[in-house]
Structure 1
Amino acid sequence: MIKAVIIEDEKRAASYLSAMLREVDPEILILKVLDSVESGVSYLSANGKVDVIFSDVQLGDGLSFSIFEKVNNTAPVVFITGYDRFMLDAFENNGIDYLLKPVDKEDLAKALKKYKGLERHFTHEKPEEAMSQLLQYINGGRKKRILVRKGIENITMPLSDIVLFYTENKIVHALDRTGRKFMVDKNLCDLETELDENTFFRANRQYILNINYIKSFKPYERVKLWVDLVLPDIDHSIIISQETAPMFRRWLLEA
Structure 2
Amino acid sequence: MKTVFIAEDEAPARERLIATLARVAPEVQLLGHSDTVRGTLDWLTAHAGAAAPELLLLDIQLADGLSLELFRERQLAIPVIFTTAYDRFALQAFQALAVDYLLKPVSDAALAQALSKARLFRAEPRDARLDRLEQLLQALGGGPAAQEQQQRIVGRKGGQFHALEIASIACFVSLDKLSFAVDRAGQRFLVEPTLGELEQRLDPRRFFRANRQLLVAADAVRRFAAAGKGRLRLELTPALDGELLISQERAGAFRAWLER
> If the length of structure 2 is used for normalisation, what is the TM-score?
0.45
Q: Which has the higher contact order (CA 8 A, sep 6+)?
A: 2
> If the length of structure 1 is used for normalisation, what is the TM-score?
0.46
Between Structure 1 and Structure 2, whose CA radius of gyration is higher? 1
